[in-house]
Amino acid sequence: MPETSAKITVLGSGTSVGVPTIGCHCSVCSSDDPRDKRLRPSILVGYEGHNVLIDTTPDFRTQALRARIEHLDAVLFTHAHADHIMGLDDVRPFNFRRHGQIPIFAAVDTMAAIRRCFQYVFDGGKKESSIPQLDPRLIDGAPFDLFGMEFLPIPVLHGRDRIYGFRFGGAAYLTDHSDIPDSSLDQLRGLDVLFLDALRYKPHPTHSTVDRSIKTVEQLAPRRAFFTHICHDLAHERAESLLPPHIRLAYDGLEIEVGLPQ
């Protein structure tokens, strides 16, 4: 791995419906703690003046304004669920600033779904108004270089679907997953920072839980772990007080300097 230091900004730490959840009056949805306000799940990876986004959530415009993102160099997609792709049209202002296409990276099935959802972007027809200018690139399990940093797609199981997380330098980001195959676990050793799905305490068919992700952390022994894709069952302060100090809950706006691999 190249010795590049990176900064991760958590743009959203919430599950697919976000927290607060529409119409819900539970104590977490009504909480005054800003860490209990969770937009849909995404991170920005910044290094050497480059910004790489993982997933474009339906909240992407709000997230980009809040994090004061001024340029975008690439987008990686984990999978094509609505909470991970629906903000793609909002990359247009970055096209205006960049005067060129933004490369987007996704597995073949994810890219096909993106092409269906955003058919007007890819149909090649003459447009009267702006559309995202994108350069689609397919990924499989092979590592690829982006601006001098290696990104390694890590296969994980999200219910019955096989989707990707990503490892880069000393960090890995595994959002939506219910299981991690052994071959992928082997690719996640020696990390400084590991992000894991931890939807809630109760089991869910397509997501990891707090207990399950604690076990994954014990197994992989990263220096630090952050849980994300969190629903309104977890109050930030209370949930964190029950975790060991090297495991924290991610929250919107959290910034982490990534160290080198161990």
Q: Which residues bind Zn ion (CB under 5 A)?
A: 16, 21, 24, 26, 29, 81, 83, 176, 232
Q: How many CB atoms sit inside 10 A of residue 117's CB?
A: 16
**Distance of closest approach, residue 252 Cβ to Zn ion, in angstroms:** 15
Question: Which residue matches tokens 């499989």?
Answer: 140
Can you name the residues that pair with 255 across neighbouring β-strands? 9
**Distance of closest approach, residue 66 Cβ to Zn ion, in angstroms:** 19
Tell me whether residue 13 or residue 16 sits nearer to Zn ion (CB atom). 16
**Distance of closest approach, residue 57 Cβ to Zn ion, in angstroms:** 9
**Distance of closest approach, residue 49 Cβ to Zn ion, in angstroms:** 29
Bond before 20 cis per omega within 30 degrees: yes
* 148: alpha, beta or left? (left if phi > 0; alpha if psi -120 to 50): left
**Distance of closest approach, residue 1 Cβ to Zn ion, in angstroms:** 27
Distance from C-alpha of 246 to C-alpha of 240, rounded to nearest angstrom: 10
Helix intervals (H) in 80-235: 82-85, 92-98, 108-117, 119-122, 182-185, 210-220
Tell me whether residue 24 or residue 65 sits nearer to Zn ion (CB atom). 24
User: What is the residue type of 95?
Assistant: N
Tell me whether residue 28 or residue 102 sits nearer to Zn ion (CB atom). 28
Tell me whether residue 2 or residue 203 sits nearer to Zn ion (CB atom). 203
Distance from C-alpha of 1 to C-alpha of 73, rounded to nearest angstrom: 20
Tell me whether residue 149 or residue 163 sits nearer to Zn ion (CB atom). 163
Tell me the two tokens of residue 235.
Answer: 């109050």
Tell me whether residue 117 or residue 221 sits nearer to Zn ion (CB atom). 117
> Residue 132 in 3-state DSSP?
coil
Distance from C-alpha of 107 to C-alpha of 126, rounded to nearest angstrom: 27
**Distance of closest approach, residue 2 Cβ to Zn ion, in angstroms:** 30
Distance from C-alpha of 86 to C-alpha of 58, rounded to nearest angstrom: 5
